Structure 1
Amino acid sequence: MTRSFGKFKRILEKRHFTIIITVFFLLLLSACENTASRAAEDGKAANGRISVVTSFYPIYYLAGEIGGEHANVINLIPAGVEPHDWSPKSRELNEASKASLFLYNGAGLEGWVDGFLKGLGKDKSVKAVQVSTGISLIEADGSEHEHVDDQAEAGEHLDHDAPTVDPHTWVSPKSALVMADNIKNALIEAAPSYTTDYEANYERLKKKLVELDNKFQTELGKTSLKDIVVSHQAFGYLVRDYSLNQVAIMGLSPDAEPRAQDLLRISKFVKDNGVRYIFFEELVTSTLADTLAREANVETLVLNPIEGLTPKQEQAGENFITLMEANLQNLVKALQ
């Protein structure tokens, strides 16, 4: 009798343990489901980080700095690739369509973006944000006009093959400040529970950009020369904001070939105005800049439009701020 009672007791204890384990896993599963549900409602993945896809490097850098540990930021364009002629494959577009945020420059830079935005189905939750909004854009002839916010009108007006607007907004720290503010607001709207952290990260980044702006203003204000000759007409916002003058060998697209008379005209300008350096960039060939420098008997220097990092820069830990500082050093050297 005692032996039977002991056996019965062990069976009850075993069943009691099984029930406890079952209840524990049911509670755990329910908690996970609630967490995932709350995350989806707040624009985040289940791991707590909002998914952000950016169209090219400067936006990637700004979004990563502001998003911090609460954002999983993916850049579409790989290191070493020039963004003007790049277009995404279906895999990249699919990745962007699954994100919570898709951040792009606009102003005609991404020639493929209008088609991508139109191709998004109504069931896609990704929010597309044009981060150049609020910057007074520069027309191809050098004049300014107010930003066009209507996407249909912008897509019709800003033909990437024959650009009428300079899309290189980010090359000026003043413009980068506007872009950073737009990115911060987009992140807060997508994941409001992280507002405090996004605001704090933004303030740290803003401090760096303001310091950079002050350096550009102070150092370039002291230079005796104001003319820069560049391989690619990518520095309109920089020269506008810091009272310089840009003479470009190629147009707004770096593959726009100059005519022979253009090269002769620029060579004469270099000689007549005491220009000592021809600026080239690292993501496109420097052949024309080298040719012009030899013709005018001057040297070459790098002026980086920071459209992307080279693999070497990426490995060395370079970033948007350090490359901007290098640009300032080379500008001061050329304009003294």
Structure 2
Amino acid sequence: MNKQVKFAIIAIIIVIPLSSYSVWASDSSLQIREATSFSKLQAIASFYPLYEFAQQVGQDKVNVQLLVPEGVEPHDWEPTIQDVQLIQKSDFIIINGFGFENWVESLGEMNYQGIVVDTSSQIIKNNDEKSILFKNDPHIWLNPILAKTQVQTIADEFSKSDPQNKNFYQKNAQSYTLELDKLDSKIRNDLSTCSQDFIAFHDAFSYFAYEYNLHQHTILSSNDPHSEPTAKTLENIINTARELKINIIFTEDTTDPRVSGVIANEINGKVLVLSPLEISDDGNYISRMTENLDNLKEALC
């Protein structure tokens, strides 16, 4: 059964009481909620970083839920019947874009009537050089500068649908982007005099490397962290590590570290984690990016 048929069937068998819906008014193509002091915007974030961004912007005026369950890798995730029910009740679905959420193509079959907030839209609209260079890499959130654009896009969409709280959303976005600015400055300062070449597990850090003048080499030349490297691939990356005098090989928090371990053993090096932040844990975006920075400093400085 193909995905479109599957989602069509799911949508048909779900019945949602229309009386539970908030009142909407149409203003051209924009849907504006008739907000009251007793209502909150209902938002769903496709995966962890966007969940945090939306929470930072919406705070107590937006109920934000995480669509992909904690600990689940979002690359291959597909919504269940319960997920479709949740989606249909939401005012917003906040996505990364750049093809990261394949299931978004099936929203029509889910009968979704809300607003899809594509946080990559302004990056593409602005013809950002990085989005052209790395159009096959969706991991824009790993670059704090692009993350700021994602945060602002979320704030703008909340403001359009809830204009009476526009200043609230915009102020929150401004406060959080200042924290992202501090993170950006720390990364620049800490890595400014270090080596530039590092070996990541897969093509997740293109935007990060470009922003901070680093050179990313990867074990997997793919955006799929669960594909298998060939013997030739391992041989090539071992040779690269030796040529560039790299002694730390990165793995990810959602992948088997033994692959990186094989390479590290061959070069008498060690394995550290460089997380794409695709799953949630006890930290937050800034603390986890700081952990990535600490591991990069150990590898490069």
User: Same fold by TM (over 0.5)?
Assistant: yes
2:80 is aligned, of 51, 74, 89, to 89
Give unmatched runs, 5+ long, in structure 1. Answer: 1-35, 148-163
Residue in structure 1 matched with residue 225 of structure 2 by the alignment: 254
The residue matched to 1:103 in structure 2 has which SS? strand
The residue matched to 2:278 in structure 1 has which SS? coil
1:222 is displaced (CA, Å) by 1.8
The residue matched to 1:135 in structure 2 has which SS? helix
Give unmatched runs, 5+ long, in structure 2. Answer: 1-21, 26-30
CA distance 1:115–1:46, shift in 2 (3 Å): farther
Residue in structure 2 matched with residue 145 of structure 1 by the alignment: 132
Residue in structure 2 matched with residue 227 of structure 1 by the alignment: 197
CA distance 1:278–1:136, shift in 2 (3 Å): farther
1:53 is aligned, of 44, 47, 59, to 44
Superposition pairs for residues 12-91 of structure 1, below 5 Å? 42=33, 44=35, 47-91=38-82
AA in 2 matched with 1:296: I
Question: Radius of gyration: which is bigger?
Answer: 1
CA displacement 1:183-238 (0-9 Å, x = unmatched): 11111111111111111111110110011111112211121x11110112211110
CA separation in 2, counterparts of 1:43 and 1:222?
53
The residue matched to 1:175 in structure 2 has which SS? helix
CA displacement 1:100-147 (0-9 Å, x = unmatched): 11111110111111112x2243xx54111111123359xxxx985289
2:177 is aligned, of 184, 206, 218, to 206
The residue matched to 1:145 in structure 2 has which SS? helix
1:244 is displaced (CA, Å) by 0.5
Superposition pairs for residues 158-307 of structure 1, below 5 Å? 165-223=136-194, 225-250=195-220, 251-307=222-278
Residue in structure 2 matched with residue 151 of structure 1 by the alignment: none
Residue in structure 2 matched with residue 320 of structure 1 by the alignment: 285
1:101 touches 1:190 (CA, 8 Å); kept in 2? Answer: no
Does residue 330 in structure 1 map to residue 288 in structure 2? Answer: no
CA separation in 1, counterparts of 2:186 and 2:92?
33
The residue matched to 1:330 in structure 2 has which SS? helix
CA separation in 2, counterparts of 1:47 and 1:249?
51
CA distance 1:267–1:44, shift in 2 (3 Å): farther
Does residue 99 in structure 1 map to residue 90 in structure 2? Answer: yes
CA separation in 2, counterparts of 1:50 and 1:38?
12
1:172 touches 1:241 (CA, 8 Å); kept in 2? Answer: yes
CA distance 1:319–1:186, shift in 2 (3 Å): same
Percent identity of paired positions between Structure 1 and Structure 2: 30
2:252 touches 2:274 (CA, 8 Å); kept in 1? Answer: yes
CA distance 1:96–1:38, shift in 2 (3 Å): closer
| Residue-pair matches, total | 272
1:255 is displaced (CA, Å) by 1.3
1:44 touches 1:100 (CA, 8 Å); kept in 2? Answer: no
1:128 is aligned, of 116, 129, 132, to 116
Question: TM-score scaled to structure 2, two decimals?
Answer: 0.84
CA RMSD of aligned residues (A): 2.5
AA in 2 matched with 1:335: L
CA separation in 2, counterparts of 1:103 and 1:42?
17
